[in-house]
Amino acid sequence: MGSNSLNPDRFFDSDPAIRRVARALYEETRGLPIVSPHGHVDARILAENAPFPEPASLIIQPDHYILRLLYANGVPLEALLKGEPRRVWQLFAEHYYLFRGTPSGAWLDYELCEGFGIRDSVSGETATRIYDEIVEKLKSPEYRPRALFERFNIEVLATTDAATDSLEHHCAIRESGWKGRVIPTFRPDALFKISSPGFDGLGARDFTSFIRAIAERRVHFKQLGATATDHAVLEPYTAALSEEEVERLFQRARQGQATPDDERRFTAHLLMEMARLSLADGLVMQLHAGALRDHNSQVFERFGPNMGADIPVATEFTRNLRALLNAYGNDPRFTLVLFTLDESTYSRELAPLAGHYPAVRLGPPWWFHDSMEGMRRFREQTTETASIYKTAGFNDDTRAFCSIPARHDLARRMDANFLGGLVARHMIDESDARRMARALAYELVKKTYRL
């Protein structure tokens, strides 16, 4: 039976000169509050504050990173999503070896060891014992959602919410008197999909009324604490259409006649409108580009979206964003956070854009890559051109509530190690590194998202 102990120097470089500095930087940042500006935790969890029922639904089923790797190795999603909880946990434990050397494995080890005090290594043989131990702990008040929120030292948690969401759970949190700060994020993706069946455009009869209705929804989100919007697109294409053309596209959508090409042009114009509204109301605009959503049609049809089948495509930013950035990118009152799956754009396009336009910030690669080495590559390929101060800190992008501190801990370790390398090569001194480490762990995200 192995031990689930965590080495205090995990993820640091084997070079003692780098490791010494990385360790010191991490010690200064590990206790900083967590600011989570982009995630997918259901606000209902914190509104109701009910005990979590059991570990499978808490740790495995909400985490598409876990589900994706298990499915890729032959474990049926049916068994993971609809099986009896103990059987789901047993399957997970029997395949725990699949996560060795991956960020998901690092998160899971931290979550189980630091979050639940599990000291046994996870395997088919230990599955039942670990399951029972977690079940017992979930019965105690210390493992209620709000108690964990406070223990995790979360300062702000942003959820992601459809433009039409009532935000009733956010209202309930506020009315409860609990002091935890949970805020919504305005995500109007469905309003862009004019070629989809059932598009109603918020009931608007014309495009002008449609934009007015969107602006009113944004006001409601802001009243409940929102500081950002979020937009997922296949390509970051932007263009300003004439009033006549955009109205014609909107009316085609109302009649159920819009084509995919109509939708592409409508999306390009609507992104311009979203930037204009952000300049007016101050909401930070996040743009996630380059994910071909729900690539696996069979999985989507059977289990719905968000099952880990978002596959990268090559993404071009320089030409696609030129219209939007020429209109709004020179205004420092506007903030546009760019995310991508396409690592080849880091040094070629994204860093130069962020290194020039006052409005642009670069979102962390973690959002898509699920990759420790991807984080390192991001820092290496963007810092020289844009500096760390044109990046947006870290976000965990998780539905799995209990994994939040694990993800932030790993990010802080990776950034400490990157900065340790700069110190070891005498590019910066240790006092610079300390300030930069704090900025990456805490200050940049607060500044970027106006928190």
pLDDT tens readout for residues 248-259: 999 999 999 999
For residue 291, pLDDT over 60 is answered with yes
- Percentage of the chain beyond pLDDT 70 is 99
> pLDDT value at position 215?
98
| 39-72 pLDDT per residue, tens | 999 999 999 999 999 999 999 999 988 999 999 9
> pLDDT value at position 65?
87
> pLDDT value at position 42?
97
Task: State the average pLDDT for the chain.
Answer: 96
Cα distances from 176 to residues 145, 222, 354, 382, in angstroms, run: 14, 19, 41, 43
DSSP bridge pairs for 360? 336
CATH 1.10.3720.10 fits 16-51+144-448, yes or no: no
Place of tokens 């009896």: 84
Determine the topology of domain 52-143 in CATH: uronate isomerase, domain 2, chain A (1.10.2020)
> pLDDT value at position 198?
87
| 226-278 pLDDT per residue, tens | 999 999 999 999 999 999 999 999 999 999 999 999 999 999 999 999 999 99
For residue 306, pLDDT over 90 is answered with no
Q: Which helix (H) or strand (E) holds 128?
A: helix 127-138
> pLDDT value at position 3?
61
> pLDDT value at position 1?
43
| 77-97 pLDDT per residue, tens | 999 999 999 999 999 999 999
> pLDDT value at position 2?
56
Alpha carbons within 13 A on the beta-carbon side of 445: 23
- Percentage of the chain beyond pLDDT 90 is 92
Domain residue extents for the chain: 16-51+144-448, 52-143
d(CA 165, CA 180): 21
> pLDDT value at position 366?
72
Alpha carbons within 13 A on the beta-carbon side of 129: 11
Q: Is 279 helix (H, G, I), strand (E, B) or coil?
A: helix
Please compute the mean of the pLDDT values over residues 182-204 and round it to a whole number.
Answer: 95
> pLDDT value at position 305?
81
> pLDDT value at position 369?
74
Burial class (CB in 10 A: 0-12, 13-18, 19+), 234: middle
For residue 111, pLDDT over 90 is answered with yes
Instruction: Assess contact for 224 and 281: CB atoms under 8 A.
Output: no
